[in-house]
Amino acid sequence: MTLGNIENRERFLSNIRDKIGGLSADKPVQKPNWSTQPQYRVLKDQNQDQLIKVLKDQCKHIHTDFYHTDEQHLDETLNEIFEEYGVRSIVYTCDSRFQDHKVDTSLKQSGLDTWEWDDNEKEASIQFSEKADVGITFSDITLAESGTVVLFNGQGKGRSVSLLPQNYIAIIPKSTIVKRMTQATEKIHKQVENGEDISSCINFITGPSNSADIEMNLIVGVHGPIRAAYVVVDDI
C-alpha cells in the first residue's frame, strides 16, 4: 500500500512539546496503571442466558423488536418479520454465515426480491440497498448492556447494507453476546497489539436511527433505518 503524506508535523508537535515538556515524540510512553476500572464490574458474573435477558430488556429502550429462535426456526422467524415490516426486497451481506446456516437458500426461495452485496458491483449494490425494504447482516459481537450489534465491515460486507434500507435485521448468534463495549474494544485492542489489520469500518449499531434535534422529542428513523429487529439464534 502507498504510504500517505504527513505535512507540517515537526513544527506542530515541537510547539506542543515546548508547552508540556514532553520527551521526543518517538520515545514510547507507558500508560499508567489507572486507579480504578469500573468497566469490569458491569454485569459481572452474568452467564450467557442472563445476558440474553439483559439484551431483550434493553431492546425496549432502543425501539428494537427482539426475537429469540433456534437455527431450525430461523427462516420462519425471518418470514414473520418480513410480513410484519411489509418487506418485498432484501439486501444481505456476502458472508459465509448466510450459507452455513442456510439463510441464503431460504431467502432465495422466499419469492422476494433479494440481492447479495457484491463489491465488484458497487453502484448496483448501493442502488439496490437504497431502495431495499430491509438489510440483513450477522452480528460479529453483540453487547448485552447497550443492545448493540458490532459489525466488522470489509470484503463482501458492505457498509450500506445496514444503513440505506428502510429496515434493518441483525442475526445474532448466541455465542457473539458479551457483556458490554469493554469486551469488544478489548478484542480489537488485542488485534492491534498483534499487528493484525482491523476492519476499515467497525459499526456499533444500537437500534434504528433517531434524532432529538426537534424540541428534544425523540424521532425514530432519520437517515438510517426506521425500524430494526434483532434475532438471537441459539446453537450458532
Partner 1 sequence: MPMQIGEKEFKQRVTKGLDDNFMRGAVRSAQGRLQNNRASAADELGDWEDWRTLGKEIRQHTIEHLDYYLHQLSEKVAELGGNVFFAETAEEANEYVKNVVKSKNAKKIAKSKSMVTEEISMNEALEELGCDVVETDLGEYILQMDDHDPPSHIVAPALHKNKEQIRDVFRDKLGYEKTEKPEELALFAREKLREEFLSAEVGITGCNFAVAESGSFALVTNEGNARMVTTLPETQITVMGMERIVPGWEELDIVVSLLTRAAVGQKLTSYITALTGPKQSEEGDGPEEFHLVIVDNGRSKILGTEFQEALHCIRCAACINVCPVYRHVGGHAYGSIYPGPIGAVLSPLLSDYDEYKDLPYASSLCGACTEVCPVKIPLHEQLIAHRRNIIEEDKKGSLAEKVAMKGFGQMAGSANLYQMATKMAPILSTPFSSKNQIRKGLGPLKHWTESRDFPKPANESFRSWFKQRNKRGVQHDVRKH
Span 57-86, contacts to partner 1 by CB under 8 A: 58, 62
- Which of 114/199 has CB closer to partner 1? 199
Distance CA 63, CA 207 (A): 6
**HSE on the CB side for 69, CA within 13 Å?**
19
Distance CA 164, CA 123 (A): 13
The C-alpha cell at 127 is: 442502488
Considering only residues 92 through 151, tell me which ones interact with partner 1, judged by CB under 8 A. 117-122, 125-126, 130, 143, 145-148
Q: Which stretch binds partner 1 (CB under 8 A): 66-74, 82-90, 134-142, 213-221?
A: 213-221
56 touching partner 1, by CB under 8 A: no
| Distance of closest approach, residue 206 Cβ to partner 1, in angstroms | 5
Distance CA 191, CA 214 (A): 41
Q: Which stretch binds partner 1 (CB under 8 A): 19-27, 71-79, 80-88, 108-116?
A: 19-27
Considering only residues 155 through 194, tell me which ones interact with partner 1, judged by CB under 8 A. 155, 158-160, 163, 181-182, 184-186, 188-189, 192-193
211 touching partner 1, by CB under 8 A: yes
| Distance of closest approach, residue 15 Cβ to partner 1, in angstroms | 5
* 166 CB-contact burial (10 Å; exposed 0-12 / middle 13-18 / buried 19+): buried
User: Cα dist. 169→81, 166, 189, 229 in Å?
Assistant: 9, 10, 28, 5
222 touching partner 1, by CB under 8 A: yes
| Distance of closest approach, residue 27 Cβ to partner 1, in angstroms | 7
Q: Which stretch binds partner 1 (CB under 8 A): 27-35, 66-74, 99-107, 171-179?
A: 27-35
What is residue 95's three-state secondary structure? coil
Distance CA 219, CA 214 (A): 8
